[in-house]
Structure 1
Amino acid sequence: MSVHDRQHAGSDGEINLSVENRKLLTEIENLCSNTRRKVENVLLIGKVGAGKSSLINSVRKALTGQYIPKAPAGKGSSSSKTKALERFERCGVEEDDLIHDRDRYMKISHVPTIFDFPGLGDTEFEGLEEILDLIIKGDVAPYTSLRYLIESQNKTKNDHEKECELKQPYPNSKISTILFVQSCRESAPKNLISCLQKVLDKSGPDGKLLYTGKVHVVMTKFDLVNHQDNSDDETTEMISEDNYMDIENDMADLFNIDGNRQDNLTKWTSYSDRLDAERDNPAVDNSALKLIKMIMTHGTQAELMPAKPMPAKPMPAKPMPAKDDSCQIL
């Protein structure tokens, strides 16, 4: 059932989704309960106005039950509201958000950390490939501005100097999952995707790919797709289902997921001005919780950290040899 169908399933459908959402929350809490599990680092990439910040705010709502936007949403603006590499630990959930439910805050301690990269145009500007490469490897400090990254790349003389200018290992920032966020109303950004693919195709001296994590496509603003046959119902914001499918097909081709879209592409609706954020929407929460569970289940960090070795038992002390008085000199 699509997001659209679930949103219009009526009260019975909402009740069923609410039950499913409680089950999903419990499953996420169970995944978090294993403290040997590494926290997934998720990077959001997409064009300006794709809906990355709204996605973060909706995920926080699904986890806390409260809509308190922390990521500044641009509402389709031509300029990105996000200016730096933002970091949202626990998917942006803070202790004060669950001040009356301390137990849940502790239970979701290992949900993913989200890194939100500023929205881009569909152009591959000089240095973008190197910047993405450094971010994915975890060599760029959180909250570093995009302008600084670009200026640092442009002012250095060669590739070695560029890498030394920016590279500072941040082990807890290495990306394990990439979410490419794409609006249903915009054509596929082929140049931007091509730049990302170049980074993902890089290999080390041994020929093995440097990035082995998951790449997942999130098609945002799915509530703007007109699922009715009557085109007269469309507004300037709405798009036809045929037009949407053209965009989805292009994204599937560009990311080579045409044969397995179900596991690699999510149709997404965020809480927004259009969709009343003050009222619970089980369908939106359901998509968010399923996305979190997918990342935690299939991400590269899903492998458990090795258990700490048990301390070796001390060897029993060897008994001292008995003193032989027969050789004693008188």
Structure 2
Amino acid sequence: MKVVDIHSHFIPKEWENLQKKFGGDGWPWLSHSESNVNNTQPEKAMLMKGKQAFRPVYSACWDAQVRLDEMDRDGVDKQIISATPILFAYDRPVEQASYCAQLFNDAALDICSKDTQRLFALAQVPLQNIDASCIEVSRAKACGHVGVQIGNHVGEKNMDDEGVLTFLQHCADEDIPVFVHPWDMMASERTKDYMMGWTVGMPAETQLSIVSMILGGGFDRVSDTLKICFAHGGGSFAFLLGRLENAWHHKDIARGKSQHPPSHYLNRFHLDTAVFDHDALDLLVKKMGPERLMFGTDYPFPLGEQQMGQLIKTSADLSDQTKQKLLASNAEQFFSL
């Protein structure tokens, strides 16, 4: 079966010292391990946030050949790469965030240039400024990006924020697919242990982004030509849809600004399949339908799908036709690959 992975991340091997260029603290940079010298194993590095270690990574993040070799190992035909959210710079002045967006967008295309028939890129934008975001996403599309990745919030602004909706409409008008990725997770102090920021915070942020688009009237206000996909299987959205429906029908305040109950909007967005569990995958197919799901791994991170594609391929309850839709056909249509 053909396989297209829509959810994978990159980090450039190196980039200019942003702290030296702009000042301030907490800029991302990559600290490479000295043991990489004359080592035949994949290079390792530590992604840093200022002086603080953020995440250990290895060369699949920046070396296209390592990435292609591992795609071949797992039978992945095509992969779409997007920036690791720590690179977003949403909390910086717009001029700095715009500079970072261009810097990392160009770096993504450089990685993809190793094999432009198999590797594709999503852009990032300075989402704290909508005019600048529209300019950059249009530039990125013209340069070869197949869509844009955005974080699910900017500070306290959720997906139903007026500016975010303006940006989404711009993407709809220019036929630019949008991939929404959680970041800067809620309750950071309460989830700081045991990787709960990733295992609890990320799914919660993803569900919040979908619900805010529905109840905030986002889907009612943005054109239905918008192509938008939410990461990590939508978090717990599918499981808790009944709770949302019940609240919408029985409490006026729970309806927000939405014109219809939550289930009405299921045909307005896609989800990826990074759920790591056959029962969860079956629920997504039942709730969303097989046309609204696209294969995603969160490669090459430790919490991603380690044998890319096996969750779908080994499903006992999905037909081969449905498996092919999830593994590739839906993504090829969504991203015009």
Determine if the TM-score, normalized by the shorter chain, exceeds 0.5.
no
TM (normalized to structure 2)? 0.33
Higher RCO (C-alpha under 8 Å, 6+ residues apart): 1
TM (normalized to structure 1)? 0.34
